[in-house]
A and B are shown apart, each in its own frame.
Chain A
Amino acid sequence: MLGKLDWSAVPIGQPIPLIAGAVVLVAILAVLVWVVVKGHLPYLWDEWITSVDHKRIGVMYTLLAMVMLLRGFSDAIMMRAQQAVAYHSQGYLPPEHYNQIFSAHGTIMIFFVAMPFVIGLMNLVVPLQLGVRDVAFPTLNSVGFWLTATGALLVNISLVVGEFARTGWLPFPPLSEATYSPGVGVDYYLWSLEISGVGTLVAGINLVTTVLKLRTRGMTYLRMPMFCWTTLATNLLIVAAFPILTATLAMLILDRYFGFHFFTNEAGGNMMMFMNLIWAWGHPEVYIVVLPAFGIFSEVVATFSGKPLFGYRSMVLATMAICVVSFMVWLHHFFTMGAGPDVNAIFGIASMIIAVPTGVKIYNWLFTMYAGRVRFATPMLWSIGFMVTFIIGGLTGVLLAVPPADFLLHNSLFLIAHLHNVLIGGTLFGAFAGYTYWFPKAFGFRLHEGLGKAAFWFWLTGFYVAFMPLYVLGFLGMTRRMQHYDVAQWRPWLIAAAFGAVLILIGIVFQIAQLVVSIRQRAELRDRTGDPWHGRSLEWATSSPPPVFNFAIPPDVRGEDAYWAMKSRAREQPLETGEPDYEDIEMPRNSPTGFVCAFFATVMGFALIWHIWWMVAAGLIGAVATFVVFAWRDHDEYVIPAAEVARIDRANLAERRALSYSWSA
């Protein structure tokens, strides 16, 4: 009846997962009770859960990422604590638990922090920057978000029901095959990623179509803000790379569930094929999470330097070059496979070449700042911290791209230091910069600057204290994923790294405090102009938060930096006082399709993990039926009458005319 599921799946005898799971459960229940008792449920359902508004969906993606960051960071600090104490001892985490923690840490940080963070920011900002009213497929957008949430939920269910994978964040066979990993851990991994992978693909298709087909009048390709370009590149990579992940994990599923022989030791299976396939997705994935960050830095650096982005066209070229070359370097993840010197040399050179467009970008940001009036607001601090940190990470990456060096450093902590150097210094700093920069656009008030700066400095120093020792440890020969060790030389460095993790923890506490304090002081931090940073692109041309239709009248773009140009014109000639001709606006209706579909996907995923076949069928039929019901509806749009549009826009314009354009020239 319940497949492999019974009471032994609940970790009664293991205090750490039990307490962690219980705390999370109590927290979720407390929030649910609070929502229901306070009567917020109808609001949440109508305004958020069923919303197909790209801004709301973007906010929900970002929120998911930040919550999961807490989970991923808990794993991280547990690992740092373990390695700090596990010298000549077992530490406090038994091996099978430690293995789950490092696997969950990587999986969560990549798939449920980095991905939803960047997809959330792209969702929130890109339609506004393009001057349009929504993304190409609003309901599918909601489906994509909720499927991602399903994946995150399944990973977290594994904390209290069963176990998570012990195979690392990529489940390399034959270890991940049923023979060596008979438990449900790898199955949790596989199904949560298959389901959230569908969500990511949907988001990718949606955003590619949005950028290519939905731009306001006059928004030619070479007038798009840089963030739109990196969004295009990122989502092209998603569309081209995620199907490979889906196929690869499907093959591993077939191996595990039905005894196929893709990657097994026997009957002709080839485990190195898994390495090739997974990294053919995995390397583009690196650029999927870092390119949006490059876009964010481009926006932030230009805005806070008060100058147009230096070398806009070279930046576009560099972005697209990275997009293409990222598909030609995957083999550098396993130089040690034994492909031979010629193959290794080609992939080594390709990996070094990709540093060239990245270098172009760094110089462009530096030259944008050069002779600019740089304002050191929090988003700009993250950007400068990024530039310094990412150069170090990039250079150690070039070092790893040299095959002979890689033979020594492969799977050592040097590699771990490098990848955290680029992922934290690149993607995460970018996400935080974007979060601070666009928060006022999403909610209508700014985040507290002082606490934001404190968070930045603790994150930055914490990062260096936590990860620079890992470079040293790599040179000292320490391999990754060690549950205990007996080399005395390593210990001081590991203690230093643990101390760095504590500094990062303080940074995170400041970030939480920043959010709480900002919400409490939202009246003082209110942004009534819609343009708190003296921005350059169209998202600042509408109110904060924008009305559901974004723009009452579609903007007409006649050059780069569209909004900056509008403001310049407004200074030179008196503001136009005539009333525009408002028209009725059609907007997509809210739909519970995404939520219901994800509910069934969760049921199906859980049932597949535990081999509960009748429940699999029920979930599948439910998901398909949801789509048929959705396809059957007759009214998928509603009309906002011109009078209502006029009322909203007049209020916005009045406020703007009273306050805006007060920036000194």
Chain B
Amino acid sequence: MTDATMTYPGSGQLGIADAAAHAGPASKRIVTGYGFWIFILSDMVMFSAFFATYAVLLGKTAGGPSGRELFDLRNVAIETVLLLLSSFSCGLATIAADTRSAKWFHLAMAVTCVLGLGFLAIEGREFASLVARGAGPTRSAFLSAFFTLVGCHGLHVSAGILWLLTMMAQVFAKGFRADILRRVMCFALFWHALDIIWIAVFTVVYLLGSAA
């Protein structure tokens, strides 16, 4: 029924190897990428807690302004375009890394960074204007949930930009080493995942919020 042995390659006492069986530990690249995917999934679970909270508190404006009065969809459209474009340039950076082209890598990462900063600037301005109009996060449960959910995404983008700059510095200083390429891959996964979350923010918070 059960059968196993220590493999001593070359010792000739192996018996028949099970060709169909598991081939052994995966490569570092796969392990790193896989682990990072698991992290992204856990991050999405965290966001879903904030989304659920937002959905529960959507109508709890406590007599204060609602989403329909506050949201400026034109702004949000610009934010969305900036973020989607930054995902595109991030994709270009991945291709540049694959072809070991430092020049194009740095260019594409710089563009990604600028687009990300642009997104953050617009979001920051939106937050500031809401607070100035007396619609800050302490005004109502709805606004608490709004600022937390959208702000959490914004914090992720900020962290992503710090990571992006670190990766640019690492590639500049050390070149396309295997471990650095694995980090670039994880960064790209992270950046694209933020896009996916933004699509949900755009839909659930802004589109549904403006309709409510």
A binds B: yes
Q: Which residues of B from 27 to 73 have beta carbons under 8 Å from A? A: 30-31, 34-35, 38-39, 41-43, 45-46, 49-50, 52-53, 56-57, 60-62
Whether B17 sits at the interface, judged by CB under 8 Å, is yes
> In the assembled complex, how far is the CB of residue B99 from the closest CB belonging to chain A, in whole angstroms?
23
Kindly identify which residue among B23, B145, B147, B166 contacts A631, using a CB–CB cutoff of 8 Å: B166
Contacts of A579 in B (CB 8 A): 8, 11
> Is A239's CB under 8 angstroms from B12's CB?
no
Which of B81-89, B122-130, B136-144, B202-210 is the contact stretch?
A: B136-144
- Asked whether A558 and B5 contact (CB < 8 A) given A247-B50, A251-B53, the answer is yes
The range of chain B's interface size is 35 or more
Kindly identify which residue among A242, A244, A556, A578 contacts B12, using a CB–CB cutoff of 8 Å: A578
> Is A631's CB under 8 angstroms from B170's CB?
yes
Whether B132 sits at the interface, judged by CB under 8 Å, is no
Whether A212 sits at the interface, judged by CB under 8 Å, is yes
The complex places the Cα of A634 from the Cα of B24 at a distance, in Å, of: 27
Whether B153 sits at the interface, judged by CB under 8 Å, is no
Chain A residue nearest to B14 (CB atoms) is: A556
Kindly identify which residue among A270, A541, A558, A569 contacts B21, using a CB–CB cutoff of 8 Å: A558
- Asked whether A578 and B13 contact (CB < 8 A) given A243-B49, A261-B138, A268-B142, the answer is yes
Whether A341 sits at the interface, judged by CB under 8 Å, is no
Whether B211 sits at the interface, judged by CB under 8 Å, is no
> Is A262's CB under 8 angstroms from B145's CB?
yes
> In the assembled complex, how far is the CB of residue A418 from the closest CB belonging to chain B, in whole angstroms?
28
The complex places the Cα of A557 from the Cα of B14 at a distance, in Å, of: 11
Whether A205 sits at the interface, judged by CB under 8 Å, is yes
Whether A598 sits at the interface, judged by CB under 8 Å, is no
- Asked whether A243 and B11 contact (CB < 8 A) given A261-B141, A270-B57, the answer is no
- Asked whether A541 and B144 contact (CB < 8 A) given A213-B26, A218-B21, A248-B49, the answer is no
The complex places the Cα of A247 from the Cα of B48 at a distance, in Å, of: 9
The interface bits of chain A over 245-277 (1 if a CB of B lies within 8 angstroms of the residue's CB, else 0) are: 011101100110011111010111110010001
The complex places the Cα of A579 from the Cα of B145 at a distance, in Å, of: 66
Whether A581 sits at the interface, judged by CB under 8 Å, is yes
* Interchain Cβ contacts within 8 Å, total number: 199
The interface bits of chain A over 89-121 (1 if a CB of B lies within 8 angstroms of the residue's CB, else 0) are: 000000000000000000000000000000000
> Is B9's CB under 8 angstroms from A558's CB?
no
> Is B138's CB under 8 angstroms from A244's CB?
no
Whether B183 sits at the interface, judged by CB under 8 Å, is yes
> Is B4's CB under 8 angstroms from A562's CB?
yes
Whether A454 sits at the interface, judged by CB under 8 Å, is no
The complex places the Cα of A136 from the Cα of B162 at a distance, in Å, of: 25
> Is A576's CB under 8 angstroms from B166's CB?
no
Whether A220 sits at the interface, judged by CB under 8 Å, is yes
The complex places the Cα of A259 from the Cα of B24 at a distance, in Å, of: 53
Contacts of B133 in A (CB 8 A): none
Whether A216 sits at the interface, judged by CB under 8 Å, is yes
Q: Which residues of A from 621 to 637 have beta carbons under 8 Å from B? A: 624, 628, 631-632, 634, 636
> In the assembled complex, how far is the CB of residue A202 from the closest CB belonging to chain B, in whole angstroms?
9
- Asked whether A273 and B53 contact (CB < 8 A) given A564-B2, A631-B170, the answer is yes
> Is B183's CB under 8 angstroms from A631's CB?
yes
The complex places the Cα of A262 from the Cα of B10 at a distance, in Å, of: 66
B11, B23, B49 — most chain A CB neighbours (10 Å): B49
Kindly identify which residue among B3, B30, B38, B49 contacts A244, using a CB–CB cutoff of 8 Å: B49
> In the assembled complex, how far is the CB of residue B59 from the closest CB belonging to chain A, in whole angstroms?
8
Whether A42 sits at the interface, judged by CB under 8 Å, is no
The complex places the Cα of A347 from the Cα of B140 at a distance, in Å, of: 32
The interface bits of chain B over 83-121 (1 if a CB of A lies within 8 angstroms of the residue's CB, else 0) are: 000000000000000000000000000000000000000
Kindly identify which residue among A216, A576, A624 contacts B24, using a CB–CB cutoff of 8 Å: A216
> Is A260's CB under 8 angstroms from B138's CB?
yes
Whether A313 sits at the interface, judged by CB under 8 Å, is no
> In the assembled complex, how far is the CB of residue B45 from the closest CB belonging to chain A, in whole angstroms?
4
Whether A80 sits at the interface, judged by CB under 8 Å, is no
Whether A163 sits at the interface, judged by CB under 8 Å, is no
Contacts of B61 in A (CB 8 A): 268
- Asked whether A558 and B18 contact (CB < 8 A) given A209-B34, A267-B140, A632-B170, the answer is yes
Contacts of B8 in A (CB 8 A): 553, 576, 578-581
Contacts of A244 in B (CB 8 A): 45-46, 49
Chain A residue nearest to B38 (CB atoms) is: A205
- Asked whether A206 and B35 contact (CB < 8 A) given A243-B42, A267-B62, A267-B139, the answer is yes
A205, A216, A267 — most chain B CB neighbours (10 Å): A267
Contacts of A631 in B (CB 8 A): 166, 170, 183
> Is A553's CB under 8 angstroms from B18's CB?
no
Kindly identify which residue among A219, A220, A247, A555 contacts B46, using a CB–CB cutoff of 8 Å: A247
Whether A554 sits at the interface, judged by CB under 8 Å, is yes
> Is B140's CB under 8 angstroms from A132's CB?
no
Chain B residue nearest to A259 (CB atoms) is: B138
Whether A17 sits at the interface, judged by CB under 8 Å, is no
Whether A137 sits at the interface, judged by CB under 8 Å, is yes
Contacts of A362 in B (CB 8 A): none
Contacts of A561 in B (CB 8 A): 2
A243, A264, A562, A569 — most chain B CB neighbours (10 Å): A243
Kindly identify which residue among A216, A277, A624 contacts B25, using a CB–CB cutoff of 8 Å: A216
The complex places the Cα of A280 from the Cα of B49 at a distance, in Å, of: 10
Contacts of B57 in A (CB 8 A): 262, 268-270, 273
Whether A361 sits at the interface, judged by CB under 8 Å, is no
Kindly identify which residue among B2, B31, B45, B140 contacts A136, using a CB–CB cutoff of 8 Å: B31
Contacts of B52 in A (CB 8 A): 277
> Is A215's CB under 8 angstroms from B139's CB?
no
The complex places the Cα of A564 from the Cα of B2 at a distance, in Å, of: 8
> In the assembled complex, how far is the CB of residue A630 from the closest CB belonging to chain B, in whole angstroms?
11
> In the assembled complex, how far is the CB of residue A375 from the closest CB belonging to chain B, in whole angstroms?
21
- Asked whether A553 and B2 contact (CB < 8 A) given A209-B34, A268-B141, the answer is no
The complex places the Cα of A308 from the Cα of B1 at a distance, in Å, of: 11
The complex places the Cα of A576 from the Cα of B12 at a distance, in Å, of: 9
- Asked whether A251 and B25 contact (CB < 8 A) given A566-B5, A578-B12, the answer is no
The complex places the Cα of A323 from the Cα of B7 at a distance, in Å, of: 35
Whether A208 sits at the interface, judged by CB under 8 Å, is yes
Kindly identify which residue among B4, B15, B23, B148 contacts A555, using a CB–CB cutoff of 8 Å: B4
Contacts of A566 in B (CB 8 A): 4-6
Contacts of B24 in A (CB 8 A): 215-217, 554
Contacts of A384 in B (CB 8 A): none
Chain B residue nearest to A273 (CB atoms) is: B56
Contacts of A266 in B (CB 8 A): 62
> Is A217's CB under 8 angstroms from B23's CB?
yes
Contacts of A569 in B (CB 8 A): 3-5
Kindly identify which residue among A239, A308, A556 contacts B5, using a CB–CB cutoff of 8 Å: A556
Chain B residue nearest to A134 (CB atoms) is: B25
> Is B35's CB under 8 angstroms from A205's CB?
yes
The 3 A-B residue pairs with the shortest CB-CB distance, nearest first, are A268-B60, A268-B141, A580-B8
For this complex, 29 residue pairs linking A to B, each with C-beta atoms less than 8 Å apart, are A136-B31, A215-B25, A217-B7, A217-B23, A240-B42, A243-B43, A247-B50, A258-B137, A262-B57, A262-B145, A266-B62, A268-B140, A270-B141, A273-B57, A553-B6, A555-B4, A556-B7, A556-B14, A557-B4, A558-B21, A563-B4, A565-B4, A566-B4, A566-B6, A569-B5, A578-B12, A580-B10, A624-B162, A631-B166
Residues of B at the A interface (CB closer than 8 Å) are 1-15, 17-18, 21-26, 30-31, 34-35, 38-39, 41-43, 45-46, 49-50, 52-53, 56-57, 60-62, 137-142, 144-145, 147-148, 162, 166, 170, 174, 179, 183
Task: List 8 extra interface pairs beyond A204-B42, A213-B30, CB under 8 A.
Answer: A217-B23, A218-B4, A246-B46, A308-B1, A554-B24, A557-B21, A566-B5, A569-B5
